[in-house]
Structure 1
Amino acid sequence: MHNTVEVFSLFTDFDVSLFKAGKHFKLYEKFGAHHLEKEERKGTYFAVWAPNARSVSVIGDFNGWNPHLHHLYIRWDASGIWEGFIPDVPLGANYKYLIKTATGENLEKGDPFALVWETPPKTASKVGTTWYEWKDQDWMEKRHLHNGLDRPISVYELHLGSWMRDPEHPDHLLSYGQIADKLVPYIKEAGFTHVEFMPIMEHPYYPSWGYQVTGYFAASARYGPPQELMYLIEQLHRNDIGVFLDWVPSHFPGDAHGLYRFDGSHLYEHQDPRQGYHPDWSSYIFNYGRNEVRAFLISNAIFWLDRFHADGLRVDAVASMLYLDYSRNAGEWIPNEYGGRENLEAVSFLKELNEAVYANFADVQTIAEESTAWPGVSRPTFTGGLGFGMKWMMGWMHDTLNYFKQDPVYRKYNHQQITFSTVYAFHENFMLPLSHDEVVHGKHSLIYKMPGDEWQRFANLRALYLYMFTHSGTKLLFMGGEFGQTAEWDYNQSLDWHLLNFPPHEGLFRFVKDLNNLYKTQPALYEKSFSPEGFEWVELGDHENSVLVYYRKGRSEKDDLVVILNLTPVVRYYYRIGLPHKGTYEVLLNSDDKVYFGSGINCEPIKAEPYHWMNKAYSAKFTLPPLSGLVLKRTR
């Protein structure tokens, strides 16, 4: 081992100028640890940004963690980049940066651009690689057909460590590869079009669910090497299943080996805690006004789309980024230059993020978790929007769950809760989420939010799902919801898969499969999902009976669907429904069918009469099963 660092750089002057301007979006090709060959000698090139450091050395298992042996060189161009080539440092070597600060502190920091980290609770970075021979070319070439806003997008959200575990060893996490063998056939059977992984970037604190990231460029070593995650994504792609990743540019933890006070200064975060400290999560807020930080974050977004073939990013906690007073009392925040509460630097960053993502990957989606009425979140930046592809419809989620929690006898007094969402449904490209946040911290599982006895709980949940899947917008359902997980979600244990042995749960799973299939095969449910032309209320005023009727429309009249919801446990006989056209209407899906654990009240095909009703020229009388939803289509 030669205890010397050789002068070497992967940066051109143009790279450095782009980095300083905040416009270099592939920094992972330059920063970090790169195992390579220099003058026929193998070793590793290291590069790190630490502009306020007095010195930076690489310490690791290859030099006995000795801070005096491998000092990096500071570049001459005032970029703050320290770099150098160390011969004979192999792939897999553990390392950190020993940063001597301007005040003389010695900080041991992990590499912000490390591709691999040690398995937590260990905290060293590893010399790694993301080389992989991908076999998902077919998917990548045609994924625009799966990810378009006029296509069905039904997302299964899951947490890798608690979706499934080995029953023999419930304390052990399955690897990415083991999960692939179980997850791919399951998603294919259940019929979801996409999965969304809660954050799989490296994080030291497991109970954070992955939302406190330290290793932004590394797949968590808890589940195996990055190539195994690539295999998991590849297998999903080869079965026509897209992959969205949760991404967290809103805050980061204060762990000693992480980004906080990286070179002894507030490098990545704001110095003033009124701008730089997040009270909700005891974490730190990125300084979006700093060019190099913007380039770091946008490069990270591009990295997961580039190296891991992700099909989209669900961006966490966007509301906390947009407002300077988010979760703060008066006097605890600093207004913007105009005296307002909008975080103008974050707004600018989000616009640039979306422009960069779509410029590089036109066939992916960015999805904002944003809970306020900020205008234009999913509108193009050239019209003043933030540029996201979609936005979570949090208002729909809250109103819908509050409505369904009520005993049906009281629903007539709260009818507007279930109809109000369509007032603003087309202001954004909305995704309807029933996410992990709704089934933790004493909120109960979805099935136990429903009122009534066992039969009524399952009937209510099936009706809710039918309403969700026939409402305008794309869909997201958290794991366990598809079969009626009874316990709240616990990040530290598997879902209760044995429940599928019981008829109510097996029936619910069968219903979700059929619902996904209906959604994917009926153009009226997705072709105009973000346009008011795709939705029409027929009956929204029958609060006394808690009955709703609406049409979903595709590009062709022949694809139109009629949706009827009866949200009380009373059978409605001879209920007349206005119909759009003459002809015979058949039930495509009945949530009350016996195969779903329903009561089995079925509707036969019925012919429309030339009888004016509900402002329609045709109508027919139907029997509406209790606590149910029906989807009808004209067949002839």
Structure 2
Amino acid sequence: MNKTLNLIKRDSWLEPYKEAITGRYEHALYKESELTEKGKITLSDFASGYLYFGLHRTIDGWIFRECAPNATCIYMIGTFSDWQEKESYKLQRIGNGNWELKLPADALKHGELYKLKIYWEGGQGERIPAWATRVVQDDITKIFSAQVWFPEEAFQFSKTPFIPKKDPLLIYECHIGMAQQEEKVGTYNEFREKTLPRIAKAGYNCIQIMAIQEHPYYGSFGYHVSNFFAASSRFGTPDELKFLIDTAHGLGIAVIMDIVHSHAAKNEIEGLGNFAGDPYQYFYQGAKREHPAWDSLCFDYGKNEVIHFLLSNCKFWMDEYKFDGFRFDGVTSMLYYSHGLGEAFVGYGDYFNGHQDDNAICYLTLANKLIHQVNPEAITIAEEVSGMPGLAAKTEDGGYGFDYRMAMNIPDYWIKTIKEKIDEDWKPSSIFWEVTNRRKDEKTISYAESHDQALVGDKTLIFRLIDADMYWHMQKGSENYTVHRGMALHKMIRLVTATTINGGYLNFMGNEFGHPEWIDFPREGNGWSCKYARRQWDLVDRKTLVYHYLADFDQQMIELVEGVKDFQNIPIEEIWHNDGDQILAYKREDLVFVFNFNPAKSFTDYGFLVAPGSYSVVLNTDAKEFGGNGLADDTIKHLTNFDPLYKGENKEWLKLYIPARSAVVLRKTE
């Protein structure tokens, strides 16, 4: 291929790696041609395995199919057969490693449980079908089984097509099980009834739901998946999840899923770990099979059967549940044979040194093409830490096709800054560089803190800032210096992060109001308690506490960002920074953002060169309505002052009073 891809044209530093980039691009084209029979079918047609495999009800009864090349004999067993092998439930081999069973209509009933009893050379075992769409756990025995799920009155989605709003994308990341106040596992219905209205009121236009794919261990946060086509039954039924998604769409909220294709649970009976006696049917052989850090198994993306399984999984969730897209977890782990462990990624050569898994790169490229073929308005986000160029560039330009990549550097920067530096050492130049440090041709999702910071052993931003004083001084009137400082910085950190986006912004459930403590899922070590696996919504609802100030500010901030058309695409222009004063100012069109990170010094008549005119305050972190001191009069219109030195530049001085540890947003009104 002699043509130079746009990815390389836009970044001359990639020119030395033209051969590698072009090779990956051509590999994806070749694989797509192979899978689509040289274009005779579409990628979407290819990715319809869920319509063929698994259990389906037909006009004549039932049909079940499974792919198990290593099997010698397979029975369907279940409550309908007293869990015994019966000849009438024996599958027949139909070629290409596939097996089939046809049953009359009265052979299975809605709600019945089943598994496969598989025999292979030298062994046998019970397995849950790989394509099972409903898997449940017995409350007493804790054993998982597939379940026949064909209710007579299945849920029907609204007929009005839903188009996600991405101007900009404002994501509320959430977990169904811990979204409720009570010390228990929450449900899809409770989330729909209680949490969705909160998200809509807060102004977010997208929810990213974690832990949807069935996972045996609740405490894995949903990242050790066993059944890829089954929505987790611990939260409710498939119909209840569909009702949730349909309700969100009615509120104008897109729903994306945290999809896990980077690895799988080792489980053999519940999962794919040793399906039909072949530990390599879905996974790499040798040392590459097991993930050294996650105690899980790594898919073999070089097998067409695995690509078929995973691509079909993407289409299934969009087709069956109307998900609007996906946040792909663990992309760094997929891209590198090392899984990114112990690598520094200090130069471009680290992305093209032969240590990359080209099969995984090809799969991700095809997955993005498929998803956008199924729904051109779909949203795809890559959770990737290495900075691989082209990840969120168009596939036709030589990229991998994601719409966005997570700006994982930002939460790392904030937590490191808070942990290691006193306020006096915070440098606005460093802050501005970090929140705007990204490839110009790739959109990112900015966020101030990740859900990982809320897990056991770490702390959220608010807990790092206030710590134990959160237990004693969050009542109005009892706040101390530590609380005032923590709340002020919490607002400033989120404001500078959210208003410098070039794609979207993300907040994890509860962090907008400074949810205290950490997340600790029920486990043996805590007596299987849900005390910390929930959200204490009463804290933000009680107006006698200061939490609502943070939530109120977040709502106004989101409203400001969403209220500006194409906000994420408006160029960011730095107006001023002074690390000595700890002052930062930048603009986006008619909005001016001014930050004073100085913990002790307030400044009077601090000047900034801006376009001539009148400026009004539209948001102030120090306003009393947000728990601030209200030191500035935000009703005043600020008029710029003429300076003959800058007449030719069409700039004048905007002079402001900027209290210590505060930020203000102004809009040019005239």
- TM-score norm. by structure 2 comes to 0.83
The alpha carbon displacement at 1:425 in A equals: 5.1
Worse overlay, 57-66 or 453-462: 57-66
Q: Tell whether 2:149 aligns with 1:128.
A: yes
Whole-angstrom CA distance in 1 between matches of 2:339 and 2:314: 24
> In structure 1, what is the equivalent of residue 301 of structure 2?
288
Q: Tell whether 2:95 aligns with 1:66.
A: no
The answer to whether the 8 A contact 2:616-2:667 is kept is yes
Whole-angstrom CA distance in 2 between matches of 1:189 and 1:260: 43
Q: For residues 401-453 of structure 1, what are the alpha-carbon distances to aligned partners after superposition, in whole Å with 9 as ceiling and x for unaligned?
A: 333453211214x8424424424352421001332112223221221222661
Show the 5 A alignment for 1:75-474: 75-76=94-95, 79-87=96-104, 88-103=107-122, 105-119=123-137, 121-129=142-150, 132-138=154-160, 140-141=161-162, 143-144=163-164, 146-147=165-166, 151-166=167-182, 170-171=183-184, 173-257=185-269, 258-326=271-339, 340-405=354-419, 406-412=421-427, 415-424=429-438, 426-433=440-447, 434-450=449-465, 453-473=482-502, 474=504
Q: Would the alpha carbon gap of residues 566 and 200 (structure 1) be closer, same or farther in structure 2, given more than 3 Å must change?
A: same
The answer to whether the 8 A contact 2:456-2:520 is kept is no
Q: Choose the corresponding residue for 1:27, options 26, 30, 49.
A: 49
Whole-angstrom CA distance in 2 between matches of 1:550 and 1:137: 44
The answer to whether the 8 A contact 1:114-1:128 is kept is no
Q: Would the alpha carbon gap of residues 504 and 328 (structure 1) be closer, same or farther in structure 2, given more than 3 Å must change?
A: closer
Show the 5 A alignment for 1:476-515: 476-491=506-521, 492=530, 493-500=533-540, 501=542, 502-515=544-557
Paired residue type of 2:147: K
The alpha carbon displacement at 1:476 in A equals: 0.6
Q: Would the alpha carbon gap of residues 271 and 348 (structure 1) be closer, same or farther in structure 2, given more than 3 Å must change?
A: closer
Q: Tell whether 2:591 aligns with 1:561.
A: yes
> In structure 2, what is the equivalent of residue 608 of structure 1?
640
Secondary structure of the residue that 1:295 maps to in structure 2?
helix
Secondary structure of the residue that 2:81 maps to in structure 1?
coil
Paired residue type of 1:298: L
Paired residue type of 2:494: Y
Q: Choose the corresponding residue for 1:621, options 648, 652, 655.
A: 655
Q: Choose the corresponding residue for 1:475, options 483, 492, 505.
A: 505
Whole-angstrom CA distance in 1 between matches of 2:342 and 2:169: 39
Q: For residues 570-589 of structure 1, what are the alpha-carbon distances to aligned partners after superposition, in whole Å with 9 as ceiling and x for unaligned?
A: 3221110111x221100111
Whole-angstrom CA distance in 2 between matches of 1:271 and 1:536: 48
Q: Would the alpha carbon gap of residues 315 and 96 (structure 1) be closer, same or farther in structure 2, given more than 3 Å must change?
A: same
Whole-angstrom CA distance in 2 between matches of 1:22 and 1:585: 52
The alpha carbon displacement at 1:127 in A equals: 1.6
Q: For residues 40-89 of structure 1, what are the alpha-carbon distances to aligned partners after superposition, in whole Å with 9 as ceiling and x for unaligned?
A: xx3x211000011111111111111112432101113xx11100112221
Secondary structure of the residue that 2:117 maps to in structure 1?
strand
- Percent identity, aligned pairs only, is 28
The answer to whether the 8 A contact 2:209-2:256 is kept is yes
Secondary structure of the residue that 2:273 maps to in structure 1?
coil
The alpha carbon displacement at 1:23 in A equals: 7.0
Secondary structure of the residue that 2:275 maps to in structure 1?
coil
* RMSD (CA atoms): 2.5
The alpha carbon displacement at 1:327 in A equals: 5.5
The runs of 5 or more residues in structure 1 that have no matched partner are 1-13, 331-337, 554-559
Show the 5 A alignment for 1:517-556: 517-523=559-565, 525-526=567-568, 528=569, 534-540=571-577, 542-553=578-589
Whole-angstrom CA distance in 2 between matches of 1:184 and 1:357: 25
- TM-score norm. by structure 1 comes to 0.87
Whole-angstrom CA distance in 1 between matches of 2:534 and 2:108: 39
Q: Would the alpha carbon gap of residues 536 and 440 (structure 1) be closer, same or farther in structure 2, given more than 3 Å must change?
A: same
The alpha carbon displacement at 1:486 in A equals: 1.5
The answer to whether the 8 A contact 2:111-2:148 is kept is yes
Q: For residues 491-531 of structure 1, what are the alpha-carbon distances to aligned partners after superposition, in whole Å with 9 as ceiling and x for unaligned?
A: 433212232224421110100111111111122633x16xx
The answer to whether the 8 A contact 1:445-1:489 is kept is no
The alpha carbon displacement at 1:266 in A equals: 2.7
Whole-angstrom CA distance in 1 between matches of 2:120 and 2:284: 16
Q: Would the alpha carbon gap of residues 268 and 389 (structure 1) be closer, same or farther in structure 2, given more than 3 Å must change?
A: farther
Q: For residues 109-165 of structure 1, what are the alpha-carbon distances to aligned partners after superposition, in whole Å with 9 as ceiling and x for unaligned?
A: 101111111136321101224984444343x34x15x13xxx121111111111214
Q: For residues 477-498 of structure 1, what are the alpha-carbon distances to aligned partners after superposition, in whole Å with 9 as ceiling and x for unaligned?
A: 1111111111112343321223
Paired residue type of 1:84: L
The runs of 5 or more residues in structure 2 that have no matched partner are 1-34, 344-351, 467-480, 522-529
The alpha carbon displacement at 1:544 in A equals: 0.5
> In structure 2, what is the equivalent of residue 635 of structure 1?
669
The answer to whether the 8 A contact 1:116-1:219 is kept is yes
Secondary structure of the residue that 1:163 maps to in structure 2?
coil
Whole-angstrom CA distance in 2 between matches of 1:179 and 1:350: 31
